[in-house]
Chains A and B, each alone.
Chain A
Amino acid sequence: MPVCSIIPFYFGRCDKSLFGCYHEPHPAAKRASGVVIAQPVGHEYINSHRALRQLAVLLANVGFPVLRFDYYGCGDSMGEEDQATVSQWIEDTSTAISELRKRGNLNTVCVIGLRLAATIAVLAASVQNELAALVLWDAIIRGKDFLNEVRSLQNERMRCRRKPTKRVEASNMTRDFLGFAMSQSLSQSLETLEIPAFFRPAAKEVLVINSYPQKTESESYEHAVQSGTNTEYKQVAAPKIWEGTPEGTLLVPSQILRLVVSWMLHKNL
């Protein structure tokens, strides 16, 4: 094994390059499928980076080639936050799947998405050739709920600090969402974004994970079971890692990471 088993690189269209980290699989245990890990957006991306990196390392250690990537306008990828769109993120997921297929010389790919990335993964799966598996970790069923959550956190954050003399947005068409610029068009797309009832993600196996009791829990379960695919639903008590903590620590929910790895091994992917 080389000293550095993580290869950071840029891929995709030159005018919309995406940043990714390719985690080489353990050579003694290379498996047939690769795994794309799609990371959340905005503040949730920062807070869950450590956990998703750890997940990628665990999967690579048991033989999965893994590509963990940032959407356009997020993380290290090209573009500014207010240039991002939902359709661009769906395209980015497809680009990452193709890149992993090419890089790992693989026929089958699984996608793991956390929060909004899980929602995007469902939409991307429908335009991809059938995926081997889809792991939806605390997927956002309705974009509107996500926007409300962020608005409420934004209000809480601004409550105990001096307000700027003049509220300055990046432009008239952009809103400040917890320090990230969100364009009006993205906000409008999220308002209407929804994982439809009875969705049938184009994946052979689906794992739905809910890590905290939520009002959409039963809905999510219903979605999963009625989708008609080979779907499993798991409720795991774990912190909302994407929210961060007041002390600024980044949480790694080992019980969920272990669950995902053992499920993928069990399914013989």
Chain B
Amino acid sequence: MKEQAVVFGNERSLVGIMSDPPEEKLISTSPAIIILNSGIVHRVGPNRIYVKMARYLSAMGFLVLRFDFSSIGDSLPRRDNLPFVKSAIREVREAMDYLSQSRGARQFVLIGSCSGARVSFQTACQESRVIGAFLINHNRAPEDANERAGAESASEATARYYRQVALFNPQSWKRIFTGRADYRRIASVLRATMKRPFTEETATLETMRFMANIRALAERHVRVLFVWSEGDSGVENFKDMGDLVKAGAVKFRTIPKTDHTFSSLDDQRRLCDAMGEWVCHWVSASLHNGYARSKLSIAVDDRVTVTSA
């Protein structure tokens, strides 16, 4: 495969890395894949996982672009005053335009983690060229709650760990009674947990809008997979989606024993496997239609070649 540094966008201010699949594996009819920033971590992703994902997908035969939104990573700030919720969607569209012009891509799959998942989802709702979205730890929190979400997600994850694991673990109790527990941390998590019922709004309107969007995507036959790490708070926001799951409009998958940023190598391997399994749909569709140029087995010894922009 080949990796190339690219600068694109209406202002030529967005920086990204494009991964072209090996010529013999290119699936000409498959969608191009765009990977979106997770929070303010630049395009390599948390723990460099976006690099691994892009290389994995490219080895399967997909064209992949991972880029930085304005003011993140190496991309320049915008000259207008568009809020992030609008500028991000506009910039994903500019990325699609760029891939259409430079590589002839017509359909797209978006992948993002955390805020990247939120932008992927919102773009998919507004953009007909998007035919799939792989949403990692999507949190339905409205944008104005972003500040809170980052700071509290750590204590929420710890609270869930206490509730689901430590409470039933004799070793944890032993640590408490022998003075070896982190009492300050436990107290801080308890404080945050007790405060939450008073600060957390159920946001009914937000929920209804979200459900309507999911239904609209289902009508357009957009494939959507929500993937969560086991301890992520986003899972709890989706408990009321039973009817959509039954209808097959949306799929959910929880990867057990992982954390929010898939921070161990084992977490990352399982996330990549889940992604590979999900994107196989387009590989098999191409094979079925006889469009694939060659067999699609992923060679483990694929090496990357790089070209200058």
Contacts and interface: CB of A to CB of B under 8 A. Distances in A.
Interface stretch (B126-134, B195-203, B260-268): B260-268
Interface residues of A, number: 47
A10 B3 contact: yes
A49 B74 CA distance: 9
A78 B48 CA distance: 12
Contacts of A178: 47, 263
B269 A14 contact: no
Interface stretch (A141-149, A225-233, A247-255): A247-255
A3 B6 CA distance: 15
Nearest to B114: A248
Interface in B112-164: 150-151, 154, 157-158, 161
Interface string A218-238: 000000000000000000000
B15 interface: yes
Given A169-B265, A180-B47, A248 B256 contact: no
Choose among A10, A14, A161 the residue with the greatest number of B CB atoms under 10 Å from its CB.
Answer: A161
Nearest to B305: A14
Given A157-B263, A248-B150, A249-B40, A9 B309 contact: yes
B257 A162 contact: yes
Contacts of B161: 160-162
A258 interface: no
B165 interface: yes
A49 B12 CA distance: 21
B3 A163 contact: no
A48 B15 CA distance: 18
Contacts of B11: 3
A76 B257 contact: no
* Interface size class of chain B, counting residues whose CB lies under 8 Å from the partner chain: 35 or more
A92 to B, nearest CB: 14
A179 interface: yes
Interface string B242-272: 0000000000000011010111111111000
Interface in A24-48: 43, 46
Given A78-B306, A180-B47, A164 B5 contact: no
A178 B262 CA distance: 10
B296 interface: no
Contacts of A247: 150-151, 154
Contacts of B13: 3-4
A4 to B, nearest CB: 5
Contacts of A170: 265
A247 B149 CA distance: 9
B85 interface: no
A200 interface: no
B158 A160 contact: yes
A176 interface: yes
Given A8-B74, A15-B303, A163-B257, 4 more contacts: A6-B74, A46-B48, A158-B264, A161-B157
Interface of A: 3-4, 6-11, 14-15, 17, 19, 21, 43, 46, 49-50, 53, 74-76, 78-79, 81, 157-158, 160-165, 167-170, 174, 176, 178-181, 246-250
13 contacts: A8-B7, A9-B308, A15-B303, A15-B305, A43-B47, A157-B263, A162-B256, A164-B266, A174-B265, A179-B49, A247-B154, A248-B39, A249-B40
Interface of B: 3-7, 11-13, 15, 17, 39-44, 46-49, 51, 73-74, 76, 150-151, 154, 157-158, 161, 165, 230-231, 256-257, 259, 261-269, 303-309
